[in-house]
Amino acid sequence: MRVPKPHRVTDKALLKALRIGYCELCGRADMECGVHHIITRGAAGPDARCNLVCLCNSCHTAAHAGNIAKEQLWAIVAAREGMTAEQVGQEA
């Protein structure tokens, strides 16, 4: 059975808040940073703050290639949200 694809993030305030102008992983200032789903949309990942991280193009590509562990990204989100990585993983 095929899992239905979630809708794109449409909350403009959420997107604006997460497009912070630098990569949350490497710290590179990059106005081309994009919002990355830690659990991918194809795997029914939610459009929620706990599942989204701002990444530069290089880190975004590395994340999609599987070269960055989800746990590493959740640790970044946890620090940003004032939660533990375990809490963030459970929210996502």
Q: Per DSSP, what are the bridge partners of residue 54?
A: 35
pTM of the model: 0.78
Q: Look at residue 84 in the predicted model and tell me its pLDDT.
A: 85
Q: Look at residue 59 in the predicted model and tell me its pLDDT.
A: 95
The encoded tokens of residue 62 equal: 């590395």
Give the pLDDT confidence of 3-44 residue by residue, as tens digits.
Answer: 555 455 566 777 777 778 899 999 999 778 888 999 988 888
Yes or no: say if 9 and 41 are a contact pair by the CB < 8 Å rule.
Answer: no
How many other CB atoms sit within 10 Å of the CB of residue 52? Answer: 24
Beta strands in the chain (DSSP E): 34-37, 52-55
Q: Name residues whose C-beta falls within 8 Å of residue 79's C-beta, 6 or more positions apart in sequence.
A: none
User: In the predicted model, what is the mean pLDDT of the chain?
Assistant: 83
Q: Which residue has the higher pLDDT, 61 or 85?
A: 61
Q: Look at residue 31 in the predicted model and tell me its pLDDT.
A: 72
